[in-house]
Amino acid sequence: MEYDPGKPVHLVINPRCGYGGHHGAVAQLKAEARAEGIELVEYVTKGPRDATDHVRSIAADASAVVVWGGDGTVNEVAAGMEGFDVPILPCPAGTENLLAKELRIPGDPRKIVQVLRHGRVIHCDVGRINGRAFLLIIGIGFDGEVVRRLANTRSGHISHLSYFWPIWRTFWEHKYPRMKITADGEEIYDDYGMAFIGNISRYAVGLRICRDALIDDGLLDLVVFSCRKQTGMLLHAAWTLLRMHPLKGNAIYKQFRHLRIETAQPVLSQVDGDPGPETPLEVGVSPHRIRLIIPPPARSWSIWPWKGEVPV
């Protein structure tokens, strides 16, 4: 990767990400960067949306931005970098790290610095939901309720175990809403269920709900699961584990550029792992892209491994 020698690399750290205990890894990251002659300017976020404001303020004085945080922090940095050419390197430092896993970013600080030094830059689509930027995946209905419950009880670092009770309670208590969905001007759904919209394929615990989503194709992927009871959701979960849900008759899988979701009563959403807006929702592809730093290609390599390898 080419650097502007007159500009530093900025390191944005979320102190609340993942399990915590990140100080040793961050210190190693900075030491490895110094050994490679890379100047890192560190910034620790102070609260929600702080990362967005900060990266906007330093965009003119940065050769790259390294994000040490979870998917929510990456979302905030991406929102701040819309319209700028500064590339972003997301480190797998949170609970799920969906984007870092999708791009095969290593967790070892030494290897992260090597990606920063020798990686290549790709252009990445940015989605928008009711005017708010997102990079990864949106869940409407069940998913939004789980994240709301987690956010209401969260007091610090979280792990996968933190999701157990929110998921368990939502599984038994959630009332599936009736949703009217219009994609690119065509009404495609008007029934009870839950929906997901993805810019990447990967979801929590390795599920690939938006199985065919690509981060650079100019489109978003919609998955709608038709269900009204817990048994229906369990069946959808089983088919999703097998990655065969796009083939099932009671599931819709569609790519789009603009989408609207309406419900009789407001329904919660989650956006990149954080609480999102309530319905009605307007979702589309932003006219602006961001730039991401990814590992250099191997002999045969693809950032979309389930699509097959691409010789280089």
Look at residue 286 and tell me whether its pLDDT is greater than 50: yes
User: What pairs with residue 145 in β-bridges?
Assistant: none
Look at residue 217 and tell me whether its pLDDT is greater than 90: yes
Question: Per the structure block, which two tokens stand in for 151?
Answer: 């956010």
From the candidate CATH numbers 3.30.70.260, 2.40.40.20, 1.10.3720.10, 2.60.200.40, the one assigned to the domain spanning 132-285 = 2.60.200.40
Q: How many whole angstroms separate alpha carbon 68 and alpha carbon 271?
A: 19
Question: Per the structure block, which two tokens stand in for 126?
Answer: 């940015």
Annotate 154-165 with b (16+ C-beta within 10 A) or e (fewer).
Answer: eeebbeeeebee
CB neighbours of residue 85 within 10 Å: 10
Q: Is-above-0.85 flag for pTM?
A: no
For the chain, the structural domain boundaries read: 9-126+288-311, 132-285
In CATH terms, is domain 9-126+288-311 a member of 3.40.640.10? Answer: no
> pLDDT digits over 36-71, tens only?
989 899 999 998 889 999 999 999 999 999 999 888
- Asked whether the CA dihedral 68, 69, 74, 79 is positive or negative, the reply is negative
Look at residue 112 and tell me whether its pLDDT is greater than 70: yes
Question: pLDDT at position 77, please?
Answer: 94
Q: How far is CA 154 from CA 17, 46, 113, 161, 289, in A?
A: 12, 16, 32, 12, 32
Question: pLDDT at position 312, please?
Answer: 35
